[in-house]
Amino acid sequence: MLQQALTSSLELLINKALSLNISALNINLVDLTKLQQKTLTIVLSELSFPISFSVDSNRILVSGLTERANCTINTSIKTLQKLKAEQQITELIKQGKLDLSGDIKVAQQFASLAENLNIDWQSELANHIGDVPTHKLVQLSKKVADKFQFAAKQIKADASEYIVHEKRLVVTRSQVEHFNHQVNEVSRQVDDISTRIANLSKQISNQ
């Protein structure tokens, strides 16, 4: 039921964002009217199930229903981030990063809706917990984000150092195989000598 948990959470988040944007007049209700009962289905290569977005009144319904899709997009999460800009759709199709079937206008209208979603999370949070805690929380988030960015930069630098310099010093697979072969050869020679010594000892004792 991962699909249902995901669609349920997405629906909650999207509609919260939508209602805030409608109040702030970022979203034109005419845009929503054009999409009434229209459905966009997205199939992501990273997920094993589809996600459908349908408009009903001033709400977006998120479900796993594929039967009602006016437009279906097959893509990846990475490409999906670029989809927010409406004009990118054609370019992404040309690049083969996006497979689209059905009414392209529906995809464009949903992309336009997503583009206009703009939320001032800071002022929204302040409405709930107050200005000072929000300020402190934002400062803390920035510090944590900076630390993560620094760590990411460091990991990236270490990784490139490893790839450029240290990887050259690392023993290759063929070298390991050659070494193993030589060890086997020495082992075989030792066995031969042992056998020979045993034979010679036997001959001496017989004399």
For residue 7, the minimal CB distance to another protein (Å) is 7
Q: Does 5 bind another protein (CB under 8 A)?
A: yes
Binding segment for another protein (CB under 8 A), chosen from 49-57, 94-102, 113-121, 145-153, is 49-57
Q: Which of 22, 61, 93, 117 binds another protein (CB under 8 A)?
A: 61
Strand locations in the chain (E): 39-44, 50-56, 59-63, 71-75, 99-102
Judged by beta carbon, residue 18 or residue 89, the one nearer another protein is 18
Q: How far is the CB of 59 from another protein (least distance, A)?
A: 7
Q: How many CB atoms lie within 10 A of CB 133?
A: 12
- Residue 110 CA to chain centroid, in angstroms? 21
Does 56 help bind another protein (rule: CB under 8 A)? Answer: yes
Task: Please choose, from the candidates 79, 126, 132, 128, the residue with its C-alpha nearest in 3D space to the C-alpha of residue 107.
Answer: 79
Q: How far is the CB of 56 from another protein (least distance, A)?
A: 4
Residue in the structure block whose two tokens are 């086997």: 184
Q: Between vectors from CA 205 to CA 201 and to CA 207, what angle results, nearest 5°?
A: 120
- Pick from 33, 37, 95, 122 the residue near another protein by CB under 8 A: 37
Among 63, 72, 109, 112, binds another protein (CB under 8 A): 63
